[in-house]
Structure 1
Amino acid sequence: MFLNTIYSINGPVVKVRDTKDFSMGEMVYVGQKRLMGEVIIVNDAATTIQVYEETSGLRPGEPVLGTGSPISVTLGPGIISNIYDGVQRPLGKIEEQEGAFIGSGVEIPSLDPEREWDVTVLAKPGELVSPGQIIATCPETSRIEHRVMVPPHLSGTVLTAAESGPHRVEDVLITVKDERGATHEVKMCQKWPIRTPRPTKTRLPISQPLITGQRVIDTMFPIAKGGTAAVPGGFGTGKTMTQHQIAKWCDADIIIYIGCGERGNEMTQVLEEFGSLIDPKTGRPLTDRTVLIANTSNMPVAAREASIYTGITLAEYYRDMGYHVAIMADSTSRWAEALREISGRLEEMPAEEGFPAYLPSRIATFYERAGYMVNLNDSEGSISIIGAVSPQGGDLSEPVTQNTKRFVRCFWALDKSLAYARHYPAINWTTSYSEYLDDLAGWYNAHLGERFLRYRSRMAQILQEESQLLEIVKLIGADVLPDDQKLIIEVAKLVRTGFLQQNAFHKEDTYVPLEKQLEMMRTIWYLYKKALIVVNERQIPVTTIAGSGLFDKINKMKYDIENDRLDKFDSLRQEIDSTLAAMN
C-alpha cells in the first residue's frame, strides 16, 4: 500500500488527494511505469502534477513518488552534438533501446556514464576556489573545449584533487571544504533546475552584433550578441529556413536548436540537415558546436512546455564557460499552445483567445534569460535568442506575436507575398525593425567606419520613398511620374532584388561579410547619384539607363564579385561612370 496514489487523470494532468508530502516545483515519478512529472499546484485538498510523458494506460490508485528536488538537467561534457527530447533524454540512446517510438517511463542518463574524457585538472590541494571557477578542462568536440566549473553556490578550500587523465562524468575531480567545515565533492557533471536562471556577476550593455552573413539582417535589422529577436510568419514563409541560415553562419560559438512542437517530418529534415552540414569556419560537421532538442507535435504537450527551459539552461551553462551561444526556438507559438492546453485541463480562467492570463509573464521570463554577461569566473559570455512565431493564418495581431513583440528588440516579420515570389529571406522591410542600431553604432563605426550606417540609412530611405511612390502609381499609373522619381523606383528594385534578396545555394551569396555588404550599398548609392545627375542635367530618360544593362550588371554583383575580391567594386564603379558618360 502506497501512501500517495493517483486520484484523477486528465490528459497530462494528474491529481493526488490528501497529501502534504510534495513541494511546489518538485520532480515526481508517477505510476508503476515511473513517468516523469512536476508538481504545479499544491493546496490542502490535492496536489496537481503535470506529466512529461504519455499517460495512456495510467490508472487511479497507482503510486506517486517524490524526489525532493526540482526538475533539472545534467550539465557536463557530452551535451554538444547530442539530440535530446524536451526533458533531456538522449533520443539516440532511446532509439537503440526502444526503437522508433519512445516508450513510457524510459530512464536513460542524459550523459554517457561510461565514456571517458581526457581531462586536465587545474585545481590543486590547498587552493581556494570560488563559485564558477574553472577547475578542469577537456576537449568536448574538435571545436569546443569543455570547462568544468565549481557549482555556483560553493566556495572553499580544495582538500583533494584527481590526477589529470581519463575520467567519466560521475568521477569526483576535487573535494572542497567550505567555510562551515562541510566537505563537498565536485564531479565532472552537475545538476541545475531548468526554471531557475544560473547566476552571473553582472549584465553588460549590448555593444556587439551577432554577425549572420545575411544582408537584410546584418545591415537593415541587426541583432546583438545577447539580444532577442522574433521571426513571425505564416505557413511556408521561411521561418525554419531563416533560422537554419543563422545557425549555420552566425558567429556564435555554440548553437542550441529547439524544435518545439513542430511537425515530425520537418524536425526529421532538421536533424538530417544539421547532421550533413559542414561548419564553414572549421570544415568539420556543424554538429560539433550544435545541440538539438527535438520535441515534435505528437510528443506530450507538457514536455513541449519544458523544452524551452531545458534549452535555455544548457545555453546558460556554456555561457558560464565564456562562450557566445545562440538559441533557435522553433516555434514559441507551439510552446504557448502547450501552455493553453495544460491551462484548460487545470480549468483556469482563460484570457485572450483561450491562452492563460500568465502567457505574457512566461514569454518575458524566457526572453529575459538572454543577455551579455560577466560570469562568476569573470569571463564574458552571451545568450542570443531567436524565436520563431507561427501565428494562425499569418495574423500578426494574435496574442503570442503581440506579447512576444513586447519583450524582444528585434522583429523580423516574414511576408507571405515575398516568400511566394521566391524572395528569401522573406523579411518585410516596412514592418520589421531593430532597436539595436543605436547600441551597435559604436561597433560599426570602429570596425567599418561611419559610412556603413550612413549607407544603411540611405538604403532604408530609398525603400521608404519607393513605398510612397507606389501608392501614387496605384492611383494614376507610372507614366505621369517625373524621371527622377522613376529612377528611385528602379534603384529601390535594385536594393530589393540585388541586396536584400539572397541565395542560400550560391557559394558567394549564402554568406556575405560585412565589408562586402558595405561595398554593395556604396555601389548602389553611387549608381543612383550618378544616374540622377544624368537624368536631371542631361535630360536622359530612365528607360535609356535601364536599357543599357547597367541595372542588371549591378544586380548580379553579389554573384560576380567574390567575397575576397572587393577590389572588383572599384572596376564596377568605373564601368558605371563610362556607361553613363557614353549615353546621349
Structure 2
Amino acid sequence: MSRGTIKKVAGPLVIAKGMRDANMYDVVRVSSQRLIGEIIEMHEDEASIQVYEETSGLRPGEPVESMEVPLSVELGPGLITSIYDGIQRPLDDIMKVAGSNNLKRGVEVPALKRDKKWNFVPAAKVGEQLEGGDVLGTVQETIVVTQKIMVPPNMKGTLKEIKSGEFTVDETVAVLSTADGDKELTLMQHWPVRRGRPYKKKLPPAKPLVTGQRVIDTMFPIAKGGVAAVPGPFGSGKTVIQHQLAKWAEADIVVYIGCGERGNEMTDVLNEFPELKDPKTGQSLMERTVLIANTSDMPVAAREASIYTGITIAEYFRDMGYSVALMADSTSRWAEALREMSGRLEEMPGEEGYPAYLGSRLAQFYERAGHVICSGKDGREGALTAIGAVSPPGGDISEPVSQATLRIVKVFWGLDANLAYKRHFPAINWLTSYSLYLDSVGGWFDENVANDWMKLRQRMMTLLQEEAELEEIVKMVGMDALSPGDRLKMEAARSIREDFLHQNSFHEIDTYTSLEKQHNMMRLVLAFYDAGLDVLKQGADINDIVKLPVREQIGRYKYTKEDQLAAEYEKVTHQLAAETAELLGKEGL
C-alpha cells in the first residue's frame, strides 16, 4: 500500500506527500483516526484528497494510507429499506455503534449487514456457461422486491458449484471456473461509483413513465429511462412532486438522494417515506426504496459523492430488469460542493465561481439513465429514469447549474412561485415547461390509450397559449373589450387550468389519475368549448354559455372513482347536450 504524510489541511481538502505510487480516485485513510477520503488530484508525489469526514484537529505529519481501490459501493441483499449517507455508510448502524445521533469520525461500519442470513434459491445449474449479468439465483429481499444474484460484470466461465439455503452476504454461494482460475461468488458485489455499470444495448425512449399526475402525463411526459429537471424556488413544491412520483410512478424501485438539503426537510422525508403506503402492494413505500441522506451540515465532500453512490445502486437494480426511478434533491447543492472543492484546489473558476467542468460532470450523471437491454443471456430489459431537482438562488433559472442541466435533460418541469402562492399545485408552469419526449412517446399514447390523445393535448396547449396572449389585452382594457369567441376561449382555458391541471395530492381519489380518466377529462373540457362555439355561432349569449350548470359537473369529474368513469362520462356529455339545446330553445334560435 502507498503510504504518505499530511502536508497541508484546508477544510475538507488534505494535501499528502509521499504518495507517488497511489492512483487517481483511490480511497485513502487519513491520520490515525482513519478518516475516509478520495484522491482527486496528483502532482508528482503529492496527492490532493477530499475527505468525507470532519477534518478539524488534523495536523501535518500524520499518516495517510492508500487502500488502492476506487470509491466503491456494496451491492447485494439488504439495500432496500436502508438509509445511507453519501458514501454508503448505514446511518442506523452507525448510530448504534456511536451511541449518539451525531456521526462520529472514523467509524467503520459495513454497508450491508454481515450477520443477517438470506435465503438463496439457485437458478443456474452446474456445468452451465455463464457470463457477466447472468442470474445465479434469487433472494426475497422484501415482500415486494426479489433480488436477482448475478454473475459480476466482466466475468465469464463454467459454473462448477452452486449452493442453496441461508447465507450471509460474504459467504460463498457458487464457484465459477474461469480462464484465470476458480472464482468464489457471494451474494454481494463491489462496484466503483464513478463508473457506469455495463449493459448490452441502449434502447430509444418509446414508452412513457406513467405517473398519474395529469400535468406530467398529458402535457409534459417523461419516457421510461428518460431524464427530467424540476427547477423551482423555495416553497414551490419540488419535494411534494418528488414524493408523488416516488409513490405513483410506474417504477419497481425508488432511489431517493437527499443531496445537501436542509436537515429538517430530510428528517421529514425519512419520517414520511416509511409511512407512505405503496398503492400497488398496500405495503410501506420503504419496501421498495433506498434512501441516501446527505444533509447540508454533513461534510461537503460526501455530498459530491452522494449522487454517484445513488445512481450506482439504481443501476444495480436496473441490471436485474427492474424499472428504477431515481430522485436527486437537489443537484444545485451538489454543484455547490463541486464549487467549494474546486476553489480549495485553486482551479480556474468558470461562471459564478463554478468549475469549468460543471456541465460535463452533470452530463456524466444524467447520461447513466436509460432504457437498456441488460447484460446476460436472457435479454431482460431494465430502465433507469433520473429526475433531478434544481434549486436556483432566488428562482433565477439563468444561473449556471440550471442552464447546464437544461442542455442535458429532455424534460423541464418549471415550477412557478406565483402559481404556488395562488395554491395551484402542482405548480408546474405550462407556458415555460416542455418535454422533448413528446414525439417518441406520443405514438404510444395514441396506440395504447386513445387515437386522438395527442390531438386533444395539442388543442389544450393552444388554448392555454392563446389565453396568455388575451390576458395582456384584459389587463389593459378589461374583459368586456373581448369578443364573445375570445371570452369563450378564456373560459375554456380556465377550465383546463382549474379542472385539469390543478391536482390535489392529498385527496384520496384526485392524487392519482389513470390515463383513461385523463383522456375523458380532456374530451369533456374540449366538448364544452366546442359546444359553446357551436351555440355562439347560432346566436346564443356568451354570459348564458359561461353560466351553464354542466361546467361544475365537468370540474367534479376528477373526483370520480375508476369503476364509474364510463357511466359518469356518459351522464356529463348528455347533460352538456341537453343544456346547450335548452339554451338555443330559450333564446328562440
Q: Is 1:529 the equivalent of 2:530?
A: yes
Q: String of CA shifts for 1:352-378, please: whole Å, max 9, x gaps.
A: 000000000000000000000001122
Aligned twin of 1:80: 80
Shift of 1:547: 2.5
Aligned twin of 2:22: 22
Q: String of CA shifts for 1:219-254, please: whole Å, max 9, x gaps.
A: 000001000000000010011111110100001100
Q: Is 1:350 the equivalent of 2:349?
A: yes
Aligned twin of 2:178: 178
Q: Is 1:329 the equivalent of 2:359?
A: no
Please show how residues 539-550 of structure 1 align to structure 2 within 5 Å: 539-541=540-542, 543-550=543-550
Aligned twin of 2:92: 92
Aligned twin of 2:374: 375
Q: String of CA shifts for 1:191-245, please: whole Å, max 9, x gaps.
A: 0000000000010111111010000000000001000000000010011111110
The whole-number CA distance in structure 1 between the counterparts of 2:550 and 2:133 is 59
Q: Which stretch shows the higher mean deviation, 25-34 or 2-11?
A: 2-11
Shift of 1:174: 1.0
The whole-number CA distance in structure 2 between the counterparts of 1:196 and 1:376 is 16
* Secondary structure of the structure 1 residue equivalent to 2:574: helix
Aligned twin of 1:582: 582
Q: Is 1:220 the equivalent of 2:238?
A: no
Give the structure-2-normalised TM-score: 0.97
The whole-number CA distance in structure 2 between the counterparts of 1:533 and 1:131 is 64
The one-letter amino acid paired with 1:52 is Y
Q: Is 1:491 the equivalent of 2:487?
A: no
Q: Is 1:283 the equivalent of 2:282?
A: yes
Aligned twin of 1:208: 207
The whole-number CA distance in structure 2 between the counterparts of 1:50 and 1:86 is 13
The one-letter amino acid paired with 2:571 is S
Aligned twin of 1:40: 40
The answer to whether the Cα contact below 8 Å between 2:3 and 2:66 also exists between their aligned partners in 1 is no
The whole-number CA distance in structure 1 between the counterparts of 2:492 and 2:127 is 70
Decide whether aligned partners of structure 1 residues 45 and 127 sit closer, same or farther in structure 2, where only a CA change above 3 A counts: closer
Q: String of CA shifts for 1:433-482, please: whole Å, max 9, x gaps.
A: 00011111221122112211111111111101111111221222211111
Q: Is 1:420 the equivalent of 2:395?
A: no
The one-letter amino acid paired with 2:66 is G
* Secondary structure of the structure 2 residue equivalent to 1:93: helix
The one-letter amino acid paired with 2:349 is P
Q: String of CA shifts for 1:164-195, please: whole Å, max 9, x gaps.
A: 11111001111112124x12111100100000
User: How many residues are matched?
Assistant: 579
Aligned twin of 1:31: 31
Q: Is 1:446 the equivalent of 2:457?
A: no
The one-letter amino acid paired with 2:208 is P
Aligned twin of 2:52: 52
The answer to whether the Cα contact below 8 Å between 1:484 and 1:536 also exists between their aligned partners in 2 is no
**Structure 2: runs of 5+ lacking an equivalent:** none
Q: Which stretch shows the higher mean deviation, 98-107 or 257-266?
A: 98-107
**Structure 1: runs of 5+ lacking an equivalent:** none
Please show how residues 120-519 of structure 1 align to structure 2 within 5 Å: 120-162=121-163, 164-180=164-180, 182-377=181-376, 378-519=379-520
Shift of 1:562: 1.4
Shift of 1:126: 2.0
Shift of 1:548: 3.2
The whole-number CA distance in structure 1 between the counterparts of 2:18 and 2:123 is 51
The one-letter amino acid paired with 1:27 is V
* Secondary structure of the structure 2 residue equivalent to 1:566: helix
* Secondary structure of the structure 2 residue equivalent to 1:278: coil
Q: String of CA shifts for 1:527-574, please: whole Å, max 9, x gaps.
A: 110011112212322x22223333233222212x21221111111011
The one-letter amino acid paired with 1:196 is R
The one-letter amino acid paired with 1:332 is T
Q: String of CA shifts for 1:319-346, please: whole Å, max 9, x gaps.
A: 0000010000000000000000011111
The answer to whether the Cα contact below 8 Å between 2:86 and 2:293 also exists between their aligned partners in 1 is yes
The whole-number CA distance in structure 1 between the counterparts of 2:13 and 2:128 is 49
The answer to whether the Cα contact below 8 Å between 1:363 and 1:404 also exists between their aligned partners in 2 is yes
* Secondary structure of the structure 2 residue equivalent to 1:102: coil
The one-letter amino acid paired with 1:217 is I
Aligned twin of 2:108: 107
Identical residues among aligned pairs (%): 52
The one-letter amino acid paired with 2:448 is H
Aligned twin of 1:556: 556
Q: Which stretch shows the higher mean deviation, 246-255 or 561-570?
A: 561-570
The one-letter amino acid paired with 2:383 is S
The whole-number CA distance in structure 2 between the counterparts of 1:205 and 1:41 is 37
Shift of 1:507: 1.1
Give the structure-1-normalised TM-score: 0.98
* Secondary structure of the structure 2 residue equivalent to 1:223: coil
Shift of 1:19: 3.0
The answer to whether the Cα contact below 8 Å between 2:248 and 2:279 also exists between their aligned partners in 1 is yes
Aligned twin of 2:69: 69
Q: Which stretch shows the higher mean deviation, 119-128 or 257-266?
A: 119-128
The answer to whether the Cα contact below 8 Å between 2:371 and 2:382 also exists between their aligned partners in 1 is yes
Decide whether aligned partners of structure 1 residues 3 and 190 sit closer, same or farther in structure 2, where only a CA change above 3 A counts: closer
Q: String of CA shifts for 1:15-63, please: whole Å, max 9, x gaps.
A: 1124312111101111111111101111215111101111112221111
The one-letter amino acid paired with 2:31 is G
The whole-number CA distance in structure 1 between the counterparts of 2:525 and 2:315 is 42
The whole-number CA distance in structure 2 between the counterparts of 1:552 and 1:570 is 15
The one-letter amino acid paired with 2:547 is G
The one-letter amino acid paired with 1:44 is E
The whole-number CA distance in structure 1 between the counterparts of 2:162 and 2:139 is 16
Shift of 1:64: 0.7
Q: Which stretch shows the higher mean deviation, 530-539 or 508-517?
A: 530-539
